[in-house]
Amino acid sequence: MPEDPADDIQKANDELTEAGVTWVYCQFTDLDGKIRSFTVPAADLLSGKLWQDGMTFDGSSVGFAKTENSDLRAVPDPKTLLILPYGEGIQKVARLVTDTWDPDGSDPFPMDPRNAAKRCRGHISDMGFTAIHLQPELEFYLLKEGVKPTDILHHGDSIYTIQPKQGYFAAVPWDNSDPFRNEFTHNLIKAGLDIKFHHHEGGAQQVEVEFKHVSDIVRCGDYSMLYKLLARLTARQFGYSVSFIPKITEKDSGNGMHVHMWLERKEGSAFLDPDDEMGLSQTARYFIGGVLDHARATCLFTNPTINSYKRLIPEFEAPVYATWGQSNRTAMVRIPGSPGSRRVGDIEIRHSDTSSNPYLAFTVLVEAGLDGIRKKVEPPQPLSTDPNRLSPRKRKEMGIRMLPVSLHEAIEAARSDEMMERAVGKDIFQAIIDRRYREVMEFRAHVTDWELNRYLSL
């Protein structure tokens, strides 16, 4: 079992008492990136027993274990306590993130995605870095209750509509998501996130709230899952539902999860070199080299659904090839800003999407970059043009590789890259392979409306 973080537990108990909390959601993230939750009386935490022993649960029912040996322990992390932004005047509710441990509490359970991120944090430290700073940009669509996703472009009787791919920075009254975003962002701030800004995204009814860099891979995973939870809870108050599906319609923008990051040493950013023409250190270039070298394999975790590959197509600002470049939004790795304005050597990885499990997506991206540093992998020449506009021959000459075009291709890419198993651990890796392969086989057997419309009369 983890050591007793007495000060953190006392602080959490004081908050529970002061806020008059009655119930506490204890939540963890399963392999598919879904929140799992059980509710306990706040009194059970105040008594101290739950902090120490955790709660036994059936790991087989969430895909963590086999039925014949499925008992696991969920142990709350007191640093993650949040008093949820509703319940005034009735029974107040709080939320905690839990870690999963073996039944006897002796070891962290290897199938827990949060534990995979913790192992990655250890690897970062082992290589002499003090921190990894991450900033994910999670896009999503707001769906009016009772409106089908296929009708996303129709906003009722208003003349103020947004056409596909024309919604970026839309203003009111065209942007009717503004009241929701204000409240959602307010809830995020109360939850402790440092907000950069919020805005309407490119798609009709697509929005994004950007929070600033988080200096810990585990905490960034926590915040990303909290972002998804609060988005849904807040949307419900406005008569909306929220969808993080990578591609909701063929006509409009997909939901990406671009991830900005840089590594830090005691003396400062390990990615910054003010004298370099792009403002990047050699360490940053090796990191980029590793990310590109393992790009196809990381897609199993960064783009983990059948639908993910309907987003990675040309003309929608989603990367199709494993390339990098200065300010190039068609590249998989973009170097934002100008060298003169760069203070930390921030890089932006653009292929991942919001259907991913954040803990696992961040883990494979960081581990790929660390592998590049270890092996001193030089990235190819940066591109200033759209690789989709180059001829196949030119792309071959330049060594530009295409990202997978299907989940099945991503599975095979991950299978052929031994670093992926090391990154997330053997247990998670094999479980993800098995789960995604079953998904591929189910989809291959499914007959779509598109096929019926096209082929029924042949």
User: Does a structural domain hold residue 114?
Assistant: no
DSSP letter string, 132-156: EEEEEEEEEEEEETT--GGGTT--T
pLDDT of residue 379: 96
The pLDDT assigned to 3 comes to 55
SS3 262: strand
The beta-carbon contacts of 153-161 under 8 Å, at least 24 apart in sequence, are 153/204, 153/249, 153/251, 153/252, 155/204, 155/205, 161/204
157/67 same-domain check: no
- The per-residue pLDDT for 104 is 85
pLDDT at 2: 54
Domain shared by 104 and 126, yes or no: no
CATH number, position 415: 3.30.590.10
Q: Quick one: which of 113, 369, 64, 373 has its CA closest to 218?
A: 113
Same domain, 216 and 307: yes
User: Residue 115 domain-assigned?
Assistant: no
Domain end among 63, 85, 109: 109
As for how many domains the chain has, the answer is 2
Residue 295 inside a domain? The answer is yes
Q: Which residue among 83, 109, 135 closes a domain?
A: 109
Cα separation, 387 vs 331, whole angstroms: 8
User: Domain check: are 364 and 444 in the same one?
Assistant: yes
pTM value surpassing 0.75: yes
For residue 87, the enclosing domain spans: 6-109
Residue 47 within any structural domain of the chain = yes
Asked if residue 124 and residue 102 are part of one domain, the reply reads no
Packed helices 217-237 and 178-190: angle between N→C axes, nearest 10 degrees: 140
Q: Which of 245, 243, 225 is nearest to 235 (CA)?
A: 243
- Considering the domain architecture, whether residues 126 and 98 belong to the same structural domain is answered as no
Q: What are phi and psi of 87, to 5 degrees?
A: 105, 5
CATH number of the domain enclosing 46:
3.10.20.70
Q: Are residues 34 and 174 in the same domain?
A: no
CA distance 191 to 197: 16
Would you say residue 457 lies in a domain? no
Percent helix, percent strand, percent coil in the chain, to nearest 5: 40, 20, 40
Q: Which helix (H) or strand (E) holds 9?
A: helix 6-19
How far apart CA 376 and CA 285 sit, in angstroms, is 9
Place of tokens 């972002």: 227
Q: Are 167 and 303 in a shared domain?
A: yes
Residues 170 and 312 in one domain: yes
Say yes or no: 151 and 238 in one domain: yes
**Are 178 and 35 in a shared domain?**
no
Cβ neighbours around 406 below 10 Å, total: 16
Question: Tokens in use for 256?
Answer: 């990406």
Mean pLDDT by 10 residues, the chain (458 residues): 77 95 96 96 92 92 84 96 75 95 90 97 97 97 78 64 88 92 95 95 93 97 97 93 94 95 96 93 98 98 98 90 91 86 89 98 98 97 90 90 97 98 97 97 95 95
